[in-house]
A and B are shown apart, each in its own frame.
Chain A
Amino acid sequence: MSNAYELSIEKLPNPEKATLEGKNKFLGFWFFLGGETVLFGTLFATFLALRDKVGNGPAGHELFSITTTFISTMILLFSSLTSVFAILALKDYRLRMMQFWFWVTILLGLCFLSLEIYEFFNYVKEGLGYKTSAFSSSFYTLVGTHGSHVFFGILWISTLMIASYKKGITTVTAPKYYIAALYWHFIDVVWVFIFTVVYLLGILGG
């Protein structure tokens, strides 16, 4: 329990790991992401087991459009890059710069989410409801869980950013920004797997 509050006046290098609280948050969050990996692993395994069970409903290759998902992928990958810029600014204690890049990240996240909602809307219109087949249930659950993670990430980072105008970059706030960025990278990595396993396999693997 080192004294985080009073240390915060100085500008220590790597403010996200300068205190024991920061180190604990950092390690604890990595472990949390380990648990999330198992969570998504289970969802992926179930999806792979059920992806051919389309019943009377449409199959993946009849629905998926490579253009839309490719744009989604690029948007999310780019948002990961902007969150890296935010963290670089954080390490230099450049508050305005960090806020700018995090807001860009949030904006890109919103674009991704809108595309996903638009996409789901179209699938439902083409006859792929949640109850249609085992494929549809596992598809919507896997991709929807990822989408809800993106949604939560947007809420979380927005909250941090609004608070950052008052609180700035200190050894108390820096770990929060840092782990939020870690979370954002994680959901980006999960999306890369979704793009490959769900969409590319769905389109190419037939």
Chain B
Amino acid sequence: MATTPITIGEEKQGFLPWLWKWLTTVDHKKIGILYLCGAGLFFLVGGIEALLIRIQLSVPQNDLLVGSTYNQVMTMHGTTMIFLAAMPAIFALLNAVVPLQIGARDVAFPFLNALGFWLFFLGGLILNASWFLGGAPDGGWTAYAPLSTEFLGSGMDFYILGLQVAGAGTLMGGINFLVTIINMRAPGMTFMRMPLFTWTALITSALILFAFPALTVGLFFELFDKIFGANFFNAANGGNGVIWEHIFWIFGHPEVYILILPAFGVISEVIPTFAKKRLFGYTSMVFATVLIGFLAFMVWVHHMFTVGLGPMANSLFAIATMAIAIPTGMKIFNWIFTMWGGQVHYTTANLFAVGFIPTFVLGGVTGVMLAVPAADFQYHDSYFVVAHFHYVIVGGVVFGLLSGLFYWWPKMTGKFLNERLGKVTFWFFFFGFHVTFFPQHFLGLMGMPRRYFTYLSGDGLTTGNLISSIGAVGMAVAVICLVINVVMTTANGKKAKGDAWEFGRTLEWSLPSPAPEYNFAQIPLVKGIDPFWKAKMEGSSKVMPAEPLGDIHMPSPSILPFLMSLALTIVSFGFIYADKMGTALNKGSLFFAGMGVALLFLMMLIHSLKDDHGIHIHKQEIIDTERVIE
């Protein structure tokens, strides 16, 4: 741990050293890969749950998943996809790309970065452990009270504590990226020269910071109601369930923008790169991103139009909701104008980006329809809403993330994904998606309510549901192709150069693929938007450095983030088993939770007392490493 020099490339072999390296890493590039693995794992789990739902609904009065079983699968599908697949996938891209795009050697808080990952991952495991320990959460991903606090089983305890742990990790990630982007940009990288993906990362991090604490408090209220007999949502003792709805959606609406903004950022990188044109309307794109972030906090009541808050409240929130269409529309037009007159190359990444545009517009249109309160009274809790949010979250977020995955995969791993197989993935996913979700608009308008596990053959919903289930098979084929692609190319893929796609514009492409541990041997000097493209146009293969070559100081790895997360997992299980459904508390479990807290404090104490002097990579090693790479 002292300031002894380390040698790159000289690592111990074997499984245990390998495991130890990944458990203790604080390198943002490795943490990005960890996030991606976690997101991929939970995406597959959530996908299987989606398929089970579609199998159950493929024919009328099916009895594969009935009652609570269906509720569990449906709840876990939503919760898993939002919190355990989409969020970490976004953090994977943020970690892999943002420090490279701004010309930094690391994130601001490498230790917290690792802690954030382990909290997310163990939070996800806590949530999914419920399947084997008495049943999964079954109150919907929105966990409305008092249903989830008074009438459901222990599954909701897993929901509350799993999300609490994962949410804490997300909050740390948000603060980390805010500080990284504000404090650690390379010389000359002004705010208005930042790549759009970094801009969306900044705004998303700000939304995380101001949205997640509300969820933390809401989950604590539910926990206290459940375990300690508090009365927040217990109407018999003066509590009020509407408070939960407000708190949940004050978090929940910004959450959907937390998800979509980085997807917008990916599209804003991929489209200019493969059109060989700079992004059309950069300034208006930045403005639109900031405006969407601002409006994100002003619209939560549109999830609650039918609660009965009165025409004044509903109208105000309806207008704010419709206003979001304006900055979003600006973005759509800017992407189209970027392609206009460009030399568009249809790689898989670009196919997903271009496919994103019409798909997301469809989701946006139904969004404006839902923003009209009078009409929403008809759409509310029907499959029309299900179709809408899958169009924006799958058609928007997942398309964007898959585009980013194909685009930055060579930068993260040093190898290309197979393009031919990638295109198969795209077409199956694109058509599978539309076949699955387009009919759901009509099912909703015909009156099919969401969250119901079946329907009757006389309801006229049979054909639509069958088509929808067939579409789901298409999406499954696409995901299987993607998994095969990942496995195949990891074993034996085409190696990628630094500027993997040859049209790279931003700083990450000026580095080798994958980037060395210290990212930049010399921090670059940024003179404008798209600095790497600028350098190439000036006939240079490198961006001009801002400093002489010298020793580089890096943080040392640490096992504490993993152990701290483990301590919080102990606390969580203590609370889960303390809940005995309104009867007396389980004292032993509470003691167990207390031990977890003590363990956590001990770890924090060790971290506080032990100064991390980091490690130095010497100048000669950097020269050697750079030579080997070239």
Contact = CB atoms under 8 A, between A and B. Distances in A.
B611 A141 contact: no
Contact of A55 (B228, B238, B243): B238
Contacts of B545: none
B580 to A, nearest CB: 15
A24 to B, nearest CB: 4
B109 interface: yes
A137 B232 contact: yes
Contacts of B613: 5
Interface string A29-55: 001101110110011011001100111
Contact of B243 (A39, A49, A131): A49
A3 B184 CA distance: 15
Contacts of B554: 1
Interface residues of B, number: 51
B220 interface: yes
B595 interface: no
A89 B601 CA distance: 29
A134 B240 contact: yes
A135 interface: yes
Interface stretch (A73-81, A93-101, A108-116, A155-163): A155-163
A28 B108 contact: yes
B475 to A, nearest CB: 36
A105 interface: no
A133 B239 CA distance: 8
A2 B106 CA distance: 12
A7 to B, nearest CB: 12
A135 B240 CA distance: 11
Interface in A98-154: 130-138, 141
A19 to B, nearest CB: 11
Contact of A1 (B209, B230, B240, B614): B614
Contacts of B240: 49-50, 53, 134
Interface stretch (B137-145, B170-178, B531-539): B170-178
A31 B175 contact: yes
Nearest to A135: B238
B552 A1 contact: yes
B19 interface: no
B183 A133 contact: no
A197 to B, nearest CB: 16
A34 B209 contact: yes
A161 B469 CA distance: 63
Interface size for chain A: under 10, 10 to 19, 20 to 34, or 35 or more residues?
A: 35 or more
B59 interface: no
A20 B184 contact: yes
A3 B221 CA distance: 45
B345 interface: no
Contacts of A133: 231, 237-238
Contact of B553 (A1, A138, A155): A1
Contacts of A137: 224-225, 230-232, 239
Interface of A is mostly: helix
Contacts of A167: 611
A201 interface: no
Contacts of B583: none
B336 interface: no
A27 interface: yes
B224 A134 contact: no
A5 B608 CA distance: 16
A141 B224 CA distance: 9
A46 B182 CA distance: 33
A138 B218 contact: no
A145 B122 CA distance: 25
A23 interface: yes
A42 B213 contact: yes
Contacts of A187: none
Given A39-B217, A159-B605, A159-B608, A134 B232 contact: yes
B516 interface: no
B69 interface: no
Interface string A160-177: 100100010000100010
A49 B554 CA distance: 50
B217 A42 contact: yes
B608 A23 contact: no
A10 B247 CA distance: 49
Given A34-B209, A133-B231, 8 more contacts: A1-B614, A38-B209, A46-B232, A53-B238, A54-B238, A55-B237, A141-B224, A160-B608
Interface of A: 1-3, 5, 20, 23-24, 27-28, 31-32, 34-36, 38-39, 42-43, 45-46, 49-50, 53-55, 130-138, 141, 155, 159-160, 163, 167, 172, 176
21 contacts: A2-B553, A24-B184, A28-B109, A28-B176, A31-B175, A35-B171, A35-B175, A35-B212, A42-B214, A46-B221, A46-B247, A53-B240, A130-B230, A131-B228, A131-B230, A131-B231, A133-B238, A137-B231, A138-B232, A160-B608, A176-B608
Q: Which 10 A-B pairs have the closest CB atoms?
A: A53-B238, A134-B238, A137-B230, A39-B213, A42-B217, A38-B213, A24-B108, A131-B229, A1-B553, A134-B231
Interface of B: 3, 105-106, 108-109, 171, 175-176, 178-179, 182-184, 209-214, 216-218, 220-221, 224-225, 228-232, 234, 237-240, 243, 246-247, 250, 552-555, 601, 605, 608-609, 611, 613-614
